[in-house]
Amino acid sequence: MSKNTIKKAGLGTTYTRRELTGFLIGLAGQNIIYNIIGSGLTFYFQNVIFIPAVACSIIFAIARVWDAVNDPMMGTIVDKTRTKWGKCKPYLLFIPPVIMITTILPFINGMYASTNEKYEVKAAAHTEYVDFVESEFTAFETVTFKGKDYEGSELDGKTFAIVSLNNTWELPKDADGNPLRDDDGNLVKTPVMVYEIGADEAGNKTYTVMEEAGVDASVVEGFKAVKGVDTVSGGKGVWIIIWAAFSYILWGMTYTIGDIPLWGVTSLMTEDQKDRAKALSLARICAAFGFIGMMFTFIAPSFKGIFLKSMDDQHALRAAYILTAVILTVFSCILFEFAGLSVHERVEQSSETHTMKENFQTMWSCVPFRRLLISGVLRSPIQLLSLVAMPLVMYFFFNNNDPVKMLKAEGGLVLGIKTLLLLVGVMGGMLISSGITPGLGEKIGKKKLYNIYSVFGAIPFVLVFVLYYVSHKMGIDLLEWKIAIPISLIFFIASWAQGGLNVLQSVMIADCVDYEEYHNGIRPDGVFFSGQSFITKLSSGIASLIYGGVSAIVGFSGANLSILNAALLEGAKFAEYGGGKYATALFFVVSIPPAIGMVLSALPTLKYELTDAEHTRILNELNAAREAK
């Protein structure tokens, strides 16, 4: 046996239970990391440090273009690797600590927009008003209401003076210099007086106290939106965006170095087709435990209280996300390391290697693989389900407040049950489908089942938006049981189709490796599974572009989100805020684009050549040839 041969005497032809367990633990850890970035980072960029949605979309698009080169390049490097451990195992041993660092880096960034102390004001009681003399006050601002947002309103074209009753914009502080908070932990706000600025017959300024009920409150809200939010500009703003782009692209590169060998090793751990399908099925189930990474968005706000003594709410939330990212990433990378310590490669490898150009030609010339690649790209919008799931939960169920705090409050148990119901709907179908799909594939046929999932899986996605839209028009709260139960059930069916397609894609790519070995004598495990990595990340990028585009159109971006989050903390309702346009946008992106993508993904695979019968014949001949050798 040559030094380039990986199969070792005494290892047998398939993996042991211990090896499989270690591999699955590692894969679960790796997928937690993916979801920390895949769902958590988008939320963090747009909803915590308020980078504009358009900038986020451009960042993700650039990263995906680079992945078009980086993933096949890494696949080529893996396929050229020859060590005493094999070609995939070395990467699984040494890359997790690197990924740990690059996963944390994107979160260490500045705030692109944030509310300032002028946002933390409230209209004073009318009994507190005094005659205003401009020279006697240093803390006052003027604001004029113009534009389409105020056309026809009582504020249109008017100018007001907002005067701090404390004669300073600085928030009240305690003896230690920290902002004062009430018993509920809310900032003690600065009271302000509102005057309409006019002119007398001589042209002198006049300041008229607002006595009409509600007008002063409306003026204060407008003032907060105009003067109470700081957006960085110049070099600092450019640096925040550059760091976001650089750190995210760096993460994508290092993640690929671990992802391709992790999936590629499944075709090297066993020569048995059923054992491989079993490993890939269990892998997809364990990948679903990456849901813990999606919970990152849910968990992080609970740590905000640690930082509130010395920070405002928005900076405290940023610090809480950084802390949570560090803790969860370290834990996940420890799990990831189990894969490298456990797996053994058993399938014999040829000493022949190929250039990157040759591997690109191999990928494209293998017709079954090419069909899967195109199908996966067309299905890209399906990633919106996992990308927007946590923003949907955070805003609809918890009004973007601290979830743990709300669950402990009165009515929190019922709220928790309804939230769990939705999360089970979004993730439960995917999890169960991952376990059942391989068995269904054997009975129905992988190609047929793949197309069934694609076409009929579009229906529940459409129904999600229909149910939301009808309930919204009828004024029915989405949290009512009569809506919460059916919408969770519909999400369950939709996620079932998504989970089934994920499993079938992995199994069918592994089949294509056998197909290529049979026809051309090479096993491009790394290159072909780099295609799966490419599909996953390109899909995430396209989904991010769609989400960013829709967010930009409706204004769910930048300083507007800073204002929205502050308003929600003060008691506004997300479902009603802005006439419900933000709520409608979130439900639109998790339903209509995924439905379209599902249908389109069936088009390339309608004529998929590698049927189950053909693959069985190919595999039998390959195994016979290996035995003879």
Task: List, for residues 431-440, the tens digit of each pLDDT value.
Answer: 888 888 888 9
Taking the C-alpha atoms of residue 70 and residue 529, their distance in angstroms, rounded to an integer, is 13
Residue 91: which region, alpha, beta or left (left: phi > 0; alpha: psi -120 to 50)? alpha
Q: What is the DSSP letter of 386?
A: H
Task: Kindly state the average pLDDT of the residues 541-560.
Answer: 85
Contacts of 465 (CB under 8 A, 6+ apart): 587, 588, 591, 592
What are the φ and ψ backbone dihedral angles of 500, each rounded to 5 degrees?
A: -65, -40
- The answer to whether the beta carbons of residues 280 and 506 sit under 8 Å apart is yes
Q: Give me the amino acid identity at 182.
A: D
The four Cα atoms 398, 457, 264, 374 give a dihedral, to 10 degrees, of -110
Which range is least confidently modeled, 207-221, 295-309, 564-578? 207-221
Per-residue pLDDT, 98: 95
Q: What is the DSSP letter of 183?
A: T
The beta strand positions in 156-242, using DSSP E, are 159-164, 190-199, 205-209, 229-231
Model confidence at 213: pLDDT above 70: no
C-alpha to C-alpha distances, 509 to 57, 373, 376, 424, 543, nearest whole angstrom: 29, 9, 11, 29, 23
Q: 140-144 and 159-164 as β-strands: parallel, antiparallel, unpaired?
A: antiparallel
Task: Kindly state the average pLDDT of the residues 442-460.
Answer: 93
Question: Which H or E run contains 32?
Answer: helix 17-35
539 vs 26: which has the higher pLDDT: 26
Q: Give me the amino acid identity at 245.
A: A
238 vs 271: which has the higher pLDDT: 238
Taking the C-alpha atoms of residue 134 and residue 10, their distance in angstroms, rounded to an integer, is 91
Contacts of 561 (CB under 8 A, 6+ apart): 46, 47, 50, 113
**Alpha helices, H only, 265-290:** 273-288
| Residue 345: both structure tokens together | 């490669």
Q: What is the mean pLDDT of the chain?
A: 83
Model confidence at 592: pLDDT above 70: yes
Taking the C-alpha atoms of residue 569 and residue 160, their distance in angstroms, rounded to an integer, is 26
Which range is least confidently modeled, 118-122, 149-153, 281-285, 458-462? 149-153
Q: Is 569 helix (H, G, I), strand (E, B) or coil?
A: helix
Task: List, for residues 468-520, the tens digit of each pLDDT value.
Answer: 889 888 888 777 888 889 988 998 999 899 889 988 988 898 888 888 888 88
323 vs 127: which has the higher pLDDT: 323
596 vs 35: which has the higher pLDDT: 596
Q: 121-123 and 190-199 as β-strands: parallel, antiparallel, unpaired?
A: parallel
Per-residue pLDDT, 302: 85
309 vs 543: which has the higher pLDDT: 543
Per-residue pLDDT, 113: 84
Of 389, 394, 427, nearest in space to 543 by CA: 389
| Residue 322: both structure tokens together | 């950084």
Contacts of 311 (CB under 8 A, 6+ apart): 319
* Domains delineated in the chain: 17-115+233-357+382-624 (1.20.1250), 121-227 (no CATH)
Per-residue pLDDT, 600: 95
Task: Kindly state the average pLDDT of the residues 225-243.
Answer: 85
Per-residue pLDDT, 411: 77
Taking the C-alpha atoms of residue 538 and residue 191, their distance in angstroms, rounded to an integer, is 50
Model confidence at 305: pLDDT above 90: no
Model confidence at 66: pLDDT above 50: yes
Taking the C-alpha atoms of residue 170 and residue 188, their distance in angstroms, rounded to an integer, is 11
Work out the pLDDT band at 12, boundaries 50, 70, 90. low
- The answer to whether the beta carbons of residues 41 and 322 sit under 8 Å apart is no
Q: Is 408 exposed, middle or buried (0-12, 13-18, 19+ CB in 10 A)?
A: exposed
